[in-house]
Structure 1
Amino acid sequence: MLYQPWPWYIAGPLIALVMSVLILMGKRFGMSSNLETFCTIGGAGKFTDYFKVDIKSKRWNLLVVLGSVIGGFLGANVLSPNPGVQISEKTVTKLNELGFESAGTAYLPTELFSLEALTKPSVLILLLVAGFLVGFGTRYAGGCTSGHAISGLSNLQRPSLIAVIGFFIGGLIMVHLLFPLIFGS
């Protein structure tokens, strides 16, 4: 059972259980809030009051990040019986046409995330712009996809519903319009 993806009827209730416990404890789940904590730990509070926060109250969420990193590593390297990423052949073919030969074999495209790729100025610029847009979007939306989609919707927050709808629309625009423009020949 550990070597297969869990079906929605097991994973969904487990997520609901975790969210119920967090709500009862008065906590909110989200990964982007950890960036604020990391900046505080790094001394950003010396430069702006925004980063003067109580780190002790956020330790539990830092453990979530650590668990995510360890869980991701174990999932990819220990619990995955087949090497590579299981995506549709149509998607692999389309990505290969766009120059991503690592499609279906790597979790992150080596054409963008290998050490060799990072020596190309175009890749560095693309990753910097993408990182800026993700950071700006997260701050502007008041949270990340996991925070809004899991925690915000669990709390029945209307802004989270609007944000999640926006995430999906943005994802569709990126995949179907911008991605081919950026990487097409």
Structure 2
Amino acid sequence: MEIILQPWPWYVSGPLIAIIMFLLVYFGKTFGMSSNLKTICAAGGAGKNVPFFDFDWREHKWNLLVVLGAVLGGFIAHFFLSEPTNIELNPDTIENLNQLGFKNAGKSLLPPEIYSWNSVFSIQGILILLFGGFLVGFGTRYANGCTSGHAITGLSSLQLPSLIAVIGFFVGGLVMIHLIFPIIF
């Protein structure tokens, strides 16, 4: 018997996310990857030098389980629950990506022109990682949360700042892909 691996449909994954969010709200917790990273930094002693990380991380150690779950879940999903498959892209998108230097557009989820060790250790790759990391860190701190925190926790608890942040994330993504991405590649 052949097992066909497919992504979970919205009617399974959506309610699971809603149940988790309900439990987090019920127990007075918030969710977001930047909160988890903040807890890791505080546990590592960053609070000795930076006041932002000076808090009792033990009260937030449950965040570390979220990080562990994300890593384990990604590992299991990649190695046991997925199979290589072509991605159905619009032919115009494939042509545009080919013009930007992406030779196998649509053949894998993560193009090797960006997501390979050769790309990472190139001058362009290191500059993109440094600049992108700075922007993500600055943006997360400035917006008082990350995309997952605002889009999942903030929107589910009807917070106006999270709605504004999520709109900003989408606008930023559109600017990146249509204006900046062609310049980089």
Same fold (TM over 0.5): yes
Distance 2:114 2:97 in 1: 13
Q: What is the identity, as a one-letter code, of the residue corresponding to 1:68?
A: A
Distance 1:85 1:174 in 2: 24
Aligned with residue 48 of structure 1, among 42, 47, 50: 50
- Asked whether the 8 Å contact 1:149–1:164 carries over to 2, the reply is yes
Distance 2:14 2:115 in 1: 31
Q: 1:113: Cα distance to partner?
A: 3.5
- Asked whether the 8 Å contact 1:145–1:167 carries over to 2, the reply is yes
Q: 1:109: Cα distance to partner?
A: 3.2
Match status 1:145 vs 2:153: no
- 1:12-23 map, 5 Å: 12-23=14-25
Q: How many residues align?
A: 182
Q: Which runs of 5+ in 2 are unaligned?
A: none
How has the CA–CA distance of structure 1 residues 105 and 63 changed in structure 2, closer, same or farther, with 3 Å as cutoff? farther
Q: What is the identity, as a one-letter code, of the residue corresponding to 1:123?
A: G
- Asked whether the 8 Å contact 1:40–1:55 carries over to 2, the reply is yes
> What is the RMSD of the two structures over their aligned residues, measured on CA atoms?
2.0
- Provide TM-score, normalisation by structure 1: 0.89
Distance 1:2 1:60 in 2: 34
Q: Which residue of 2 aligns with 1:104?
A: 106
How has the CA–CA distance of structure 1 residues 62 and 102 changed in structure 2, closer, same or farther, with 3 Å as cutoff? farther
Of all paired residues, the percent bearing the same amino acid is 57
Distance 2:80 2:8 in 1: 16
- Provide TM-score, normalisation by structure 2: 0.89
How has the CA–CA distance of structure 1 residues 113 and 8 changed in structure 2, closer, same or farther, with 3 Å as cutoff? closer
- 1:132-171 map, 5 Å: 132-171=134-173
Q: What is the identity, as a one-letter code, of the residue corresponding to 2:30?
A: R
How has the CA–CA distance of structure 1 residues 61 and 103 changed in structure 2, closer, same or farther, with 3 Å as cutoff? farther
Q: Which runs of 5+ in 1 are unaligned?
A: none
How has the CA–CA distance of structure 1 residues 164 and 45 changed in structure 2, closer, same or farther, with 3 Å as cutoff? same
Structure 1 window deviating more from structure 2 (56-65 vs 19-28): it is 56-65
Q: 1:2: Cα distance to partner?
A: 8.2
- Asked whether the 8 Å contact 1:102–1:111 carries over to 2, the reply is no
